Amino acid sequence: MKYVIIGSGISGTTAAEELRKIDDACEITILSTEKHRLYSRVLLPRYIKGTLPRERCFLKKETWYAEQNIRCVFGVRVVELNVAEKFVSTADGQTFGFDKLLLATSGDLLKLPNDLQGISYLRTIDDADYFLELVAKFASLPPNLQRAGIIGGSFIAVEYINFFAQHKIPTDLFMLENSFFGGALDEDSFTILKTKIEAEGIKIHTNKSVTKLIGEKSLDGLEVGVEKFPLGILGVGIGIRPKFDWLKLAGVEVNRGILTNEFLETNLPNIYASGDVAEFYDSFAERRIVVGNWLNAQAQGRCVAKTMAGERTEFSAVRAYSTNVCGVEVIFIGDTEAKFAEKIVKRGSPDENGVTQIFIRDNRVVGATLVNRNVDRAELTQLIQSKASAANL
C-alpha cells in the first residue's frame, strides 16, 4: 500500500506514525512546504519568551523519519492532483503516486500587502526566529518608535499580547471584530479580558481596521483612519487561507475547508482530509465545522490513519481548547459559534471575574466558552458528550 500525506504538521505526522504502527510494510511519503521536521507550534511562545531553547520545540529527532521508514520531502508545494491516475505533482515538477492520499495541510498565512521590516507573523519557527531578531533591535529604535502594535484578535494575537505585556512594551491592538476569537466571546467575557489586558499597558481598539502602514523599508507606524500610531514592531495574526484551486480542479468538494464526513473521507474515494484544513462532520455539533487547534489535528491524524488502513473509524470527540491571556484562562468546548445557538445561558459576571457562556441547540448543550471558570469544564464537557437535555444544567 502506498500512502501520500500532504502536510508535515501534527495531523500529517501523527497519521504517518499511526499508519506505520498498523502496517510496517507500507510506503509512506509526506510532502510539505515546511523546511523543518515536526515542531510544536504551541511551544513557540515559550521559545520567544526565552524560557525554552529552540531545539526543545522540535518533537521529532532528525533521525525519526528514517527510523520509521517514512519518506519526508520538505520544501515542496503540491499543485496538482490527478484522481484518475492517482498521483500528485509539485510545483518543482516531481510526481508522487498513491493508493491513498491524506490532505493535512494548514493553509497559507494571510499577510499585509507591505513587507516592511518590523512586521512579524508568528506561525512558524522561522517566524519566531525573525520576531526575536526584531526584539533584539527594538531597544535601538528611536524612542518614539519603541512601541508595538498588534493586528487581529486570534490565538496568534494572544501570543503577542502575552509577550508585549511581559516585556512592558506599550502596545495598541486593532481588531476588526468587537471581541477576541472571531466574536465567540460575549461582551461580559470580553470585559474581563480587556480589563486585564489594558492593565498591562495594551490598549485595545475594537471594530478598527488599519488603513495604512507608514514606512519605506522599515515600519514607522500605522494609520487607522485619520489617527496615526508611531510604532517600531507590529505583530500580525489575521488568519489563514487555504489554497483549494488545485483540489477543486480535481473534483474535491471544498467550502471553508475540505469537506469530509465523520470518517474524514472526502467525496472522492481514497482521498481523506484531517486537521486544520478539514471541514468535517462533527457528530456532537451535528454539522460540519472547521477546527484549527493542536489537539483536534492530532486526534484526527490518529483517527484517519485507521480508516485509511482499512479499519473505518468515526472521528468523535468533544473538541476543547484553552489559552491563557495575561493570566486569564479561556477555554472553548464544543461548538462555540454563537450564530448557530438557539439559546445562550450565562454563568458568572465581570464583577465575579469569571463568565461562562453555554450554547444550547435542540434543547441540548452543544458548546461553551469559559473565561476564568475552569470549574465548569468537566460538567459541560460531559453534558455535550452525553447529548443530555439542557434541563440538566
Partner 1 sequence: MPKLTVKVDHAACSGIGSCIETSPKFFKFDAENRAVVISNETGNAEAEQVLTVSDAEAGELMQAAESCPMIAVSIHDESGLQIYG
* Residue ranges in contact with partner 1 by CB under 8 A: 10, 40-43, 46, 56, 59, 294-295, 298-299, 317, 320-324, 329, 331, 374-375, 377-378
Q: Amino acid identity, residue 303?
A: C
* Nearby residues of 227 by Cβ (< 8 Å), 6 or more positions away: none
CB of 393 to partner 1, least distance (A): 19
Closer of 44 and 233 to partner 1 (Cβ): 44
Which three cell numbers, joined as nine digits, stand for 189? 467575557
Pairing of strands 212-214, 221-224: antiparallel
Closer of 21 and 241 to partner 1 (Cβ): 21
Q: Which residue has the cell 488502513?
A: 309
CB of 124 to partner 1, least distance (A): 15
CB atoms within 10 A of CB 28: 23
Which three cell numbers, joined as nine digits, stand for 94? 516531481
187 vs 199: CA distance, rounded Å: 18
* Nearby residues of 93 by Cβ (< 8 Å), 6 or more positions away: none
CB of 34 to partner 1, least distance (A): 16
Closer of 17 and 188 to partner 1 (Cβ): 17
Count of residues making up the chain:
393
| CA-based radius of gyration for the chain | 22
Closer of 260 and 298 to partner 1 (Cβ): 298
CB of 322 to partner 1, least distance (A): 4
Q: In degrees rounded to 5, what are phi and psi of residue 18?
A: -70, -40
Closer of 31 and 44 to partner 1 (Cβ): 44
Closer of 56 and 111 to partner 1 (Cβ): 56
Q: Amino acid identity, residue 135?
A: V
> Residue 273 burial by CB count (10 A; 0-12/13-18/19+): exposed, middle or buried?
buried
CB of 298 to partner 1, least distance (A): 6
CB of 323 to partner 1, least distance (A): 7
CB of 256 to partner 1, least distance (A): 23
Closer of 59 and 66 to partner 1 (Cβ): 59
State the DSSP H helix or E strand holding residue 313, giving kind and residue range, or none if neither.
none
